[in-house]
Structure 1
């Protein structure tokens, strides 16, 4: 199976439409409808949308089918279109299997209960799928994870988190699929090291416990409106004494304190659901069943709801546990859950620093994968590009630029920002990155080199910090 490579010009991070590969089940009307809605909301270029035929039916796909019938066709299409090197996110529309089965020898590991992973978790770990050692099962398979958990063996022989590991926090840092990562979430020089692809599903429908198409569309619309909004709600860390909350309670107070130090509201309290009247920016809980129908909590746009339980992403009618589709229905921008028994092991779930990463300005997808050491078992559902806490730069172009774009063959761009620190500017035409310039620099292109018809020019400013958030302006123009 081929891997995505790097490109000469590309956006850095944060998450933008040019860096997304949107995967659609061509044989599923709901998949097409949701994908078209999301592409319009996010401005995802047509070249970044990949329609797949003969997607395996049912809820489970084998690891061989994932590689041969989903990932390989996607990678091939992106390479043929010349955009493989700029893709950081592989996002599935609805209409795909949610579980991936693999060799039963996996259960030889004391921390592995069965031989199933999730579609998004296994896609994120795509470089490990050909490995006979099944390294995707490793407790530290995700080196982008911003921490270094210290572990001991418990009496059952399973891997458990030592409470002292709660201090091993690494500051938030942006993601790029082209980056190689080292232990503890640090970027390595060069290309020697594992690389990943942020992956999420936009929703799960047509299942006994999934969402309706309308619920998915509304959730995506809400999440887009959350971008740059700097919401003032409360982040809740719930501790009910159950093993599902004990697994992560070691870090609740420290994460809450970090959030308060950022000027945000955060509460670690007893119970399973927030009891206050304040609007909610995020919830971290752990309970097999949550009574969301009678709950009066208000989830703000962009809110993430993370509940640790065994089958949070098992959508069959026989599952009595609360599933993540219920959080989407309640207003969350995203939620994640296990597709099969994970055991109550910290490295298989996001740490409490999930909300610290999110509130730093990282995209939802970045914050999520920055916070979980071994994501193979987790299904992430929602909008991975949502960035409520990112800082939007006041991006501008020279006076008269739009007139020049409309009338001249040789087009010059001299971007600048009125306030804020910028690392550089990058430019895309019809979704493909074609150039960049430093602050105070100039970039130009010839319209005669483009085909006749309508085109789209994107100008992107990348912030000069560890978050590398993006601000973009888009122009439509015509070539005679």
Structure 2
């Protein structure tokens, strides 16, 4: 089976997701990701069914500078300085910029968020498809992630039981490159890092990544999908693709069994499951790299909780990451689908598109990084897209 056999409808992708995850209809929820592994979890060492590549739609084009709105908080020095740097780096005109005044705190109230949302909708109308939010705080709206709330609307029901399923994203797994026009979802990504110099380095990585990979004769990149000793947080292993080099795509899929990678080179993807990930200083991330860890509070950026956050991935050299802003429990639908993330990125999607296309229930999800990074994009006259021929069984 070849990657060039695509479904054109989201329904087919969702069927694949449900079959792969739910099996005989059993719930994926575990008590608490911060708790010990559930006794019913399948041991990582136990034999798994034969792996196969999933099928995703063929995508033409991707988001570009003209599709991105930038939101800057004038009450936050980080936002002002990093925002000015980003506008210059991505050549974003002032007409695509909204200046706001927000409290610099972890979570907005629903009333504060509603005021922000109205300003965004009024200012941008239908002129932009996605947003870069230039700040570290706020990252949430009550228990919703701010990026989830901006795309799907704030959902207060989530806060009564954060472990329950949340509303699905109609953008998940689709061929769409116009999320606002076609799904009325304005995707957003927090351009956050630990400080201003590291944020500028993040921006530089994103810009320098564009169109650098998947070139004929280029060295392959590594996509590491890691199963750790943490059983519950390693549940994404059931969704990992087959291991091996895919020469047509220029990617080597590596299925690791380790608590952390050491001395890994040319890393494009690093997905794992653990509260803390060690030895990141030994990992060589390529510009445009995507990396995240399945855990409870990777998207909680303002208070200690004993878990590593997405900012550690950014600080280590990743260009985009993902974490949840409130306890999600072990619903895999609340985290990036490993194959969807990789396959959409390989088609030339931007970092913001690849991550958003890979999460079915993103209400609690915080998307962080440089949104327009697109290492596999091919720019030709009047269009931007080359779809690679894909992996075979």
- Quickly name the TM-score band, shorter chain normalised: 0.7 to 0.9
Distance verdict in 2 for CA 1:121–1:46, change over 3 Å: same
Match of 2:179 among 170, 176, 179: 176
Are residue 462 (structure 1) and residue 386 (structure 2) matched? no
- Mapped to 2, the partners of 1:310 and 1:379 lie a distance apart of 12
Residue matched to 1:22? 70
Superposed, which structure 2 residues align to 1:310-349 within 5 Å?
310-349=296-335
Cα displacement (A) at 1:244: 4.2
Superposed CA deviations along residues 146-198 of structure 1, whole A, max 9, x for unmatched, are: 1xxxxxxxxxxxxxxxxxxxxxxx7x553431103xxxxxxxxxxxxxx2111
With a CA cutoff of 8 Å and minimum separation of 6, indicate the structure with the bigger relative contact order. Answer: 2
What RMSD over aligned residues (CA atoms) do the two structures have, in Å?
2.7
Distance verdict in 2 for CA 1:334–1:133, change over 3 Å: closer
Superposed CA deviations along residues 237-265 of structure 1, whole A, max 9, x for unmatched, are: 000142344321111134x5696663421
Distance verdict in 2 for CA 1:257–1:121, change over 3 Å: farther
Cα displacement (A) at 1:100: 1.0
Are residue 66 (structure 1) and residue 113 (structure 2) matched? yes
Cα displacement (A) at 1:132: 11
Cα displacement (A) at 1:131: 9.6
Cα displacement (A) at 1:276: 5.4
Residue matched to 1:407? none
Aligned length: 321
What residue ranges of structure 2 are gaps of 5+ in the alignment?
A: 1-59, 215-219, 389-393
Distance verdict in 2 for CA 1:329–1:246, change over 3 Å: closer
Q: Runs ≥4 in structure 1, deviation > 6 angstroms?
A: 130-134, 464-467
Cα displacement (A) at 1:319: 2.0
What residue ranges of structure 1 are gaps of 5+ in the alignment?
A: 1-11, 79-83, 102-115, 147-169, 181-194, 205-210, 396-460, 468-480
Q: Look up the SS of the partner of 1:178 in the other structure.
A: helix
- Residues 144 and 158, structure 2, Cα contact 8 Å, conserved in 1: no
Match of 1:36 among 80, 84, 88: 84
Alignment TM-score, normalising by the size of structure 2:
0.75
Alignment TM-score, normalising by the size of structure 1:
0.62
- Residues 259 and 356, structure 1, Cα contact 8 Å, conserved in 2: no
Are residue 364 (structure 1) and residue 351 (structure 2) matched? yes
Superposed CA deviations along residues 103-133 of structure 1, whole A, max 9, x for unmatched, are: xxxxxxxxxxxxx11111111213x659999
- Mapped to 2, the partners of 1:99 and 1:285 lie a distance apart of 23
- Mapped to 2, the partners of 1:94 and 1:58 lie a distance apart of 10
Which has the larger strand fraction? 1
Superposed CA deviations along residues 317-362 of structure 1, whole A, max 9, x for unmatched, are: 5222111111111111011111121112101000112112111111
Match of 1:246 among 217, 225, 234: 234
